Structure 1
């Protein structure tokens, strides 16, 4: 019996669309068949680039029986609305990070996908970085002992031209925030996945190098539910852009991951060589991202459909990352610690 081939459509022809397209085209059981963008020139350009059909409206794509999965790669504040539209048409949904920009929207999207019986995942492709995978295995095996400290440092750079390239960038309404929501969300997800839920956050946010209403610098102190503490530093103002670092310390040692590769394995009881190959960094250029992580996550998603199981990145996990970012913003806004979970609608 031949393997089923899943038809894909990408909604949104911006900078991330080629990453999705290359990932889909690299899978033997997936085929990109349509691109949707409200700007006709963008839709036509991307359709020619990918060798697929162009659309400026989503409805005719959702009516196609040969479209099984819809990738939402639009401004973040439109993710839930478009995702729900796809789900109600019976299409499985892959949403670029973040899941949306409010908990209300995230909850509506999750509920709609559950009610219609379609699968939903949110892109968090850094989980498939080799160094992150090795760290996850070490934590699950107890190699680091009891974790008490976890840090993320993301000193990236985005130019003024980046924020000016699209009207939605750097806005509360459609971007949902700045450096932490758009770029740092990847590493927020990794901290939650590796160390566990956060119960308290105390944060400072600022706009130091750009003329935008949202932050280009966020620093947060975290208290995890398991008693560990942590720090997030995320900025898009660190010219010319530097590689991100994730570090986890336990009672038996420390492991550091940079650019997705292990760069420190300080675990004396479980020695190993550090010789990983780093992936391309997006520290200064979002277009330089490799599509490999997306490919692996989409492959897992199609397997989840086949096996009728939860995808590796569940929608609830994506909601948790959004909730933590919103807690950071609330703490910075009010100048005081914030306890999680947040009430829906909290600001």
Structure 2
């Protein structure tokens, strides 16, 4: 889309930073010009990967400020530990650069609100700030979301977001920040389940009230939960369940379900597993239970068909689709498909899970979002 690729600095060169770099070097609208990490060898390793791909080797620095002073940068991609997201984004915007923030927006709703204000100010200066939520761009999820938004499922009655994954003790021991409130911001819900919560909010509408419990069952030496369950009431009256765990050996599926009085959609591991809507005027009484035909075939792109193995580059394509949108937004000066306010609402919903689990009662998402309940004042207790 661009004649001159946008020059990107990847800040945070761990697993997710390297993932972004792989996407950026294969995208025609971007090039990586800087690799930044407080652990300089990590930045060097990422730069080596970029150079091995055939692109020019990025500069390597231990701070974003050094990178901004030493090379051309159009857009800063924040892939640091979550608790540093907003701080780094503020530095980038102050320097007049576009910003992409890996999920979640931050670990604090207070910081998220500050980022929302900063993003509005940045937009007035022609700067983009977007937050990664690549699964909103997956064809299967788009089919279900668009059906829900268009009323094809009728009155939405319920939903489910389930992430049944496994993370070993070694995973948590591999970095001092992993499994901490200060930098990871939470466990199975904040780190692994945030995308699924975001999809649930995107598909079902504004969440109102959350009631949750969390536990630390299968891991040691971490502060956060490895299992959580919650119920969510939405503005429409719909009810949903959030289930997230890193204690489901050997690691199973991610699942999104949306149900209404005229149809249902199910996405499992980014594949459209089930989709059915009633024909206009169709019987929706007891006899409708006999009509369970799956209408999913042909509704999504070839790489998202029902069933079949997930290709090796599937996860790269998810981010690539969002970078298509980011490039479009930069070039046209229009809002990105995922805004800071979108990410802030999803963050407040996740934090409402933790606040509810700590207080032992249901909480209003609006109270967390506005600061009537300060999510940072609550030290979330997990039961072992």
TM range (shorter): over 0.9
Which residue number corresponds to residue 304 of structure 1? 329
**Secondary structure, in 3 states, of the residue corresponding to 1:45?**
helix
Please say which structure displays the higher CA radius of gyration.
Answer: 2
How far residue 26 of structure 1 moved from its aligned partner, in angstroms, is: 2.2
Match of 1:256 in 2: 266
How far the C-alpha of 1:65 sits from its partner, in A, is 6.2
Alpha carbons of 1:81 and 1:279: their partners in 2 closer, same or farther (altered >3 Å)?
farther
Shift of 1:289: 6.8
Q: Unaligned stretches of 5+ in structure 2?
A: 52-57, 281-293, 299-303, 379-384
The Cα shift of 1:303 comes to 1.0
Match of 1:204 in 2: 213
Helix, strand or coil for the counterpart of 2:178? coil
Q: Deviations over 1:216-252 (max 9, x none)?
A: 1110001001110000000000000001111000001
- The yes-or-no answer on 1:214 pairing with 2:215 is no
Query: Which of 150, 153, 159 is residue 162 of structure 2 equivalent to?
Result: 153
Shift of 1:257: 0.3
Q: CA 1:112 to 1:64, structure 2 compared with 1: closer, same or farther past 3 Å?
A: farther
- Kept in 1, the 8 Å contact 2:276–2:296? The answer is no
Q: Distance in 2 between matches of 1:288 and 1:157?
A: 21
| Structure 1 moving runs of 4+ over 6 Å | 278-282
Q: Is the 8 A contact 1:47 1:53 kept in 2?
A: yes
2:36 is aligned to 36
2-structure distance, mates of 1:64, 1:317:
33
Aligned-partner Cα distance in 1 for 2:72–2:271: 38
Identify the match of residue 180 of structure 1 among 189, 205, 230: 189
Give yes or no for the alignment of 1:133 onto 2:142: yes
The change in CA–CA distance for 1:281 and 1:242 in structure 2 (over 3 A counts) is farther
Contact map agreement 1:243 1:281 (CA 8 A) in 2 = no
Post-superposition shift, 1:129?
1.5
- Taking the aligned partners of 2:355 and 2:296, their CA distance within structure 1 comes to 42
Corresponding position of 1:338:
363
Q: Would the alpha carbon gap of residues 233 and 208 (structure 1) be closer, same or farther in structure 2, given more than 3 Å must change?
A: same
Give SS of 1:13's match: coil
The aligned counterpart of 2:99 is 93
Contact 1:259 1:279 in 2 (8 A): no
Report how many aligned residue pairs link the two structures: 343
Alignment partner of 1:68 is 2:78? no
- Distance in structure 2 (CA, Å) of the matches to 1:318 and 1:167: 26
Indicate yes or no: 2:62 matched with 1:56. Answer: yes
Change (3 A) 1:90 1:280: farther
Q: Please state if 1:319 is matched with 2:344.
A: yes
Q: Give the 3 Å change call, closer, same or farther, for CA 244–84 of structure 1 in structure 2.
A: same
Higher mean Cα deviation, 50-59 or 183-192?
50-59
Match of 1:274 in 2: 297
Q: Which one of 99, 109, 112 corresponds to residue 115 of structure 2?
A: 109
d(CA) in 2 for partners of 1:4 and 1:81? Answer: 29
Q: Give the C-alpha shift of residue 310 in structure 1.
A: 1.1
CA contact (8 A) 1:280 1:289 kept: no
State the Cα deviation string for residues 173-231 of structure 1 (Å, max 9, x = none).
00000000001000111011111111111100111101111001110001001110000
| Alignment CA distance shift 1:281-1:170 (3 Å) | farther
Give the Cα–Cα distance (whole angstroms) in 2 for the partners of residues 184 and 59 of structure 1: 32
Change (3 A) 1:163 1:280: farther
1:288, distance to aligned residue in structure 2 (A): 8.4
RMSD between superposed Cα atoms in Å = 2.1
Unaligned runs of 5+ in 1: none
Cross-structure match for 2:4:
4
Equivalent residue, structure 2, for 1:14: 14
Return the offset for 1:5: 1.9
CA distance in structure 1 between the partners assigned to 2:75 and 2:308 by the alignment: 27
**8 Å contact from structure 1 (residues 202, 221) kept in 2:** yes
